[in-house]
């Protein structure tokens, strides 16, 4: 596939869409999952496919993936309601019963120090304590926070040591506090609006000092194409802007490890890079709707971008983007496209979440 910048990478043609991507720190490999329930490991420098696991969830598509803190264990979530834990020799170590026997779409798996949180298919969170991973089959533990959400949880973000934020399909974001209490804040609490799902949450790297003084330290994106900057200290929005047209529906986002660049993408395959280094760093009374600087706009994909991930590799910032067109693009951040790891030559029959996670 011609990247338009003089480079051409055509590594592996697939008839199905990738569903998620990870990278391994020891030799920087990219891991992708797809709608045929396969997991493939790639070398980013050459595009070489080095390993493939087939039918990880039988006929169920992989909806999301994650790596544990050691980068030695891979979590794959299928539409069958199971989350499986793998090593990179292809062995399934554990089967987590997140769906409780039901076929549900799992939207996120978040490994923590002592537990694993699974999001999707119910109002609360499914929590799996690591001390219960002694058998092959693992059942969820009791969620001690109780069912405090008024809608289905779609996404979650965590900042050590104990800040957990959840985003829901009812326009709300919740900040659990100490002693199992929480405060719920609506993004439009003072006016009637159509309910729009919060589809992504990210803590902004390098915002510790800004957070302490009430500046924005959390970003959310939603199904209307909007991005919002939050102060978790004051539980309020400081800034918001429309990154993509609301007619395009849900967007996805990622932030660079240094916190300088926000990257957003939509269903047309368009990717936008914004400079947010100084955006909403200080508290203010009114919500700003000023757009941050738009650094670059590109269209590396022909269909919906379903996941983005940024990584510092050597002295270069890199961006992985994954799409329903069945391809995974590697780009400089910000900058031109380097190449593609996969293309689809068949027709997609259903929505598949495509994602990227770096481990380097």
Q: What is the DSSP letter of 288?
A: B
Length reported for the chain: 360
Residue 96 β-bridge partners:
83, 138
Question: Which pLDDT score, from 0 to 100, does residue 146 have?
Answer: 53
Between 90 and 358, where is the model more confident? Answer: 90
Indicate whether 331 belongs to any domain.
no
Distance CA 93, CA 73 (A): 9
Question: Which pLDDT score, from 0 to 100, does residue 151 have?
Answer: 64
Distance CA 126, CA 144 (A): 11
Residues 163 and 272 in one domain: yes
Last residue of a domain, one of 147, 170, 187: 147
Between 57 and 181, where is the model more confident? Answer: 57
Q: What does pLDDT average to over the chain?
A: 78
Residues 142 and 158 in one domain: no
Query: And the tokens for 335?
Result: 């900058």
The string of pLDDT tens digits covering residues 303-317 is: 999 889 898 877 889
**For residue 212, what is the enclosing H or E element?**
helix 208-212
Last residue of a domain, one of 299, 322, 339: 299
Query: And the tokens for 158?
Result: 């965590």
Distance CA 343, CA 11 (A): 8
Question: Which pLDDT score, from 0 to 100, does residue 240 have?
Answer: 95
Q: Is the pLDDT of residue 215 over 90?
A: yes
**Cβ atoms within 10 A of the Cβ of 144, count?**
7
Residues 293 and 171 in one domain: yes
The string of pLDDT tens digits covering residues 323-354 is: 888 888 889 999 899 888 753 332 222 223 23
Indicate whether 325 belongs to any domain.
no
Q: Is the pLDDT of residue 14 over 60?
A: no
Q: Contact, 291 vs 244, CB < 8 A?
A: no
Indicate whether 75 belongs to any domain.
yes
Distance CA 60, CA 137 (A): 18
Domain count, the chain: 2
Contacts of 353 (CB under 8 A, 6+ apart): 19, 20, 63, 64, 107, 306, 307
3-state secondary structure of 131: helix
Residues 241 and 295 in one domain: yes
Most confident of 49-58, 59-68, 228-237, 271-280: 271-280
Residues 195 and 132 in one domain: no
Distance CA 345, CA 285 (A): 52
Indicate whether 34 belongs to any domain.
no
Residues 101 and 168 in one domain: no
Residues 266 and 171 in one domain: yes
Residues 273 and 164 in one domain: yes
Query: And the tokens for 52?
Result: 């493939």
The CATH number covering residue 93 comes to: 2.40.10
Residues 154 and 127 in one domain: no
Distance CA 295, CA 138 (A): 46
Q: Which domain holds residue 99?
A: 71-147
Residue whose C-alpha is closest to residue 230's, from 217, 241, 243: 217
Indicate whether 11 belongs to any domain.
no
Q: Is the pLDDT of residue 20 over 80?
A: no
Between 345 and 160, where is the model more confident? Answer: 160
Between 86 and 354, where is the model more confident? Answer: 86
Residues 290 and 172 in one domain: yes
Indicate whether 10 belongs to any domain.
no
Indicate whether 359 belongs to any domain.
no
Question: Which pLDDT score, from 0 to 100, does residue 28 have?
Answer: 66
pLDDT tier, 123 (very low <50, low <70, confident <90, very high otherwise): low
Last residue of a domain, one of 245, 268, 299: 299
Residues 138 and 191 in one domain: no
Residue 297 β-bridge partners:
272
Indicate whether 12 belongs to any domain.
no
344-349-351-352 Cα dihedral, nearest 10 degrees: -50
The CATH number covering residue 227 comes to: 2.130.10.10
The string of pLDDT tens digits covering residues 46-55 is: 777 788 888 8
Residue 340 β-bridge partners:
329
| E strands in 79-225 | 82-86, 92-97, 108-111, 115-119, 126-129, 137-138, 153-159, 163-168, 172-176, 182-186, 198-203, 218-222
Q: Contact, 82 vs 64, CB < 8 A?
A: no
Residues 134 and 163 in one domain: no
């Amino acid at each position: 596939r011609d990247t338009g910048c003089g480079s051409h990478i055509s590594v592996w043609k697939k008839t199905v869409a990738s569903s998620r991507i990870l990278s391994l720190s020891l030799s920087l490999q990219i891991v992708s999952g797809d709608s045929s329930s396969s997991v493939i490991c790639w070398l980013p420098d050459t595009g070489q496919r080095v390993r493939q696991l087939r039918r990880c969830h039988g006929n169920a598509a992989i909806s999301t993936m994650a790596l544990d803190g050691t980068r030695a264990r891979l979590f794959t979530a299928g539409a069958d309601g199971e989350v499986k834990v793998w090593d990179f020799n292809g062995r399934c170590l554990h089967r987590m019963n997140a769906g409780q026997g039901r076929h549900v779409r799992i939207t996120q798996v978040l490994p923590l120090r002592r537990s694993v949180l699974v999001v999707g298919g119910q109002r609360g969170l499914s929590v799996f304590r690591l001390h219960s991973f002694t058998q092959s089959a693992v059942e969820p533990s009791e969620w001690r926070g109780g069912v405090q959400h008024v809608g289905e949880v779609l996404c979650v973000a965590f900042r050590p040591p104990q800040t957990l934020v959840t985003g829901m399909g009812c326009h709300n974001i919740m900040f659990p506090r100490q002693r199992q209490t929480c405060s719920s804040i609506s993004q439009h609490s003072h006016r009637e609006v159509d309910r729009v799902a919060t589809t992504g949450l990210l803590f902004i790297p390098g915002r510790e000092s800004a957070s302490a003084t009430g500046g924005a330290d959390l970003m959310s994106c939603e199904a209307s194409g909007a991005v919002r900057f939050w102060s978790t200290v004051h539980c309020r929005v400081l800034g918001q802007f429309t990154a993509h047209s609301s007619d395009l529906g849900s967007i996805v986002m990622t932030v660079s490890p240094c916190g300088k660049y926000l990257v957003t993408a939509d269903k047309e395959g368009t990717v936008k890079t914004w400079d947010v280094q100084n955006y909403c760093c200080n508290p203010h009374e009114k919500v700003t709707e000023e757009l941050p600087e738009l650094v670059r706009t590109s269209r590396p994909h022909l269909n919906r971008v379903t996941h983005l991930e940024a990584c510092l590799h050597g002295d270069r910032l890199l961006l992985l983007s994954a799409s329903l067109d069945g391809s995974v693009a590697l780009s400089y951040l910000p900058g031109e496209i380097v190449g593609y790891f996969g293309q689809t030559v068949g027709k997609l029959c259903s929505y598949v979440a495509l994602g990227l996670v770096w481990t380097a």
